[in-house]
Chains A and B, each alone.
Chain A
Amino acid sequence: MNTIDIKINERSLKVLPGITILQACRDNGIDILTMCHLKGLSDVGACRLCLVEIEGINKLLSACTTRVASNMVIRTDTEKIKRYQRITTELFFAERNHVCSVCVANGNCELQELGYKVGMDHIRYPFLFPECKVDTSHQYFVMDHNRCIMCTRCVRACSEVEGAFNWDVKNRGFQVRVISDFDTPWGESITCTSCGKCLQACPTGALWSKDVVQGQLEKHPEMITELVEKRKLLLT
């Protein structure tokens, strides 16, 4: 198979053309932080954590939405990138109300893990403390907007894998919120199939099942990846 030559962090690599920089990194054991990416779902470049530097391009680009090109020289580990990742992470925490100690996802949260990974010891930005709803209207599940970071993984899992399109996003800027149907209570949804895929896709304690106790939440986002993989069997 045809391959192209690229360089990541000084390492010369042969990769398949057309793959994303993120995939090239993951295939070669190069660590890269991500949040909105979930293998199997489309990539939207929403979280800005996977930023990389590319020689000859003076702005940072998201690895999950940028494809490799031959002779690309990529860096994933510069001070500048680390600084931005730290800022992005702090902004996640400052935007809504992430109180880990009272969250169902405590100890099992991608956002919490991210905080540790970038060495976040304090937050330099004022907290917005928005008033966020907790939607408990669904028979089995809860949507807590306080914990949502707008990665839209649930939206994509619901539309791309389940095909239900219960979730989408309303408004713009810091007013954005994940919505069910016409911004109506989840329990009244006419599209939700109660499949629970969004719960598995969600990296935080925003979506969870009513039968879990605080701090006992377990998430399996890789289930979504598996589903997409196995679905390919139908096409062969």
Chain B
Amino acid sequence: MNNELPATDPRVKLLAAKIKKENFKPDALIEILHSAQNSYGYLPMNVLAYIAKALHLPPSRIYSTVTFYHFFSLKSKGEHTCLVCTGTACYVKGAQAILNELEKKTGLKAGQVSADNKLGVQVARCIGACGLAPVVVLDDEVQAKVTTDEIINKIIDKIGTK
């Protein structure tokens, strides 16, 4: 594991600023993890090591916290993410068919990331936008009342091929 984070990386600057803003308080671990995951998309091991050092927290405590909350992820979710809501409202409006089609077209199952790390497919149970069902979230952008073709086209726009 390469422990050093490149100081020139804007994400590292952001992280350092956040830690400073929280006064290096161990209690702020969750907030700091939140902001790290926001800028990295997930929590790489060297980022966790960096946080452990800065806050004087045991690695085991940090790892325990990260794996306790489903929100945190240790694995990259892909450069682009496509999240299909399978909550009740979206399900009724055909979310499952969208998901099936998407899985077939991309060759990825929900929860998987493509080998080139370009695309990750996820599911969620109700994102709280039921009026817009069926909902797909592409890179944090909510796509309302979608059809499979629309989504596939948008994905192609984003990642080029496939």
Contacts and interface: CB of A to CB of B under 8 A. Distances in A.
A80 interface: no
Given A182-B45, A190-B59, A191-B59, A168 B64 contact: yes
Interface residues of A, number: 17
Given A182-B45, A182-B48, A182-B49, A171 B60 contact: no
Interface in A106-161: 159
Nearest to B64: A168
B49 A168 contact: no
B162 interface: no
A128 to B, nearest CB: 19
Interface residues of B, number: 12
B58 A168 contact: yes
A172 B61 contact: no
Contacts of A200: none
Contacts of B48: 182
Contacts of A169: 64
Contacts of B62: 182
Contacts of A183: 63, 67
B60 A181 contact: yes
Contacts of A191: 58-60
Contacts of B71: none
A167 B68 contact: no
Contacts of B45: 182
A179 B63 contact: yes
Contacts of A76: none
Interface in A28-50: none
Given A182-B45, A182-B48, A182-B49, A168 B61 contact: yes
B63 A168 contact: yes
Interface in A180-227: 180-184, 190-191
Contacts of A180: 60
Interface of B: 45, 48-49, 58-64, 67-68
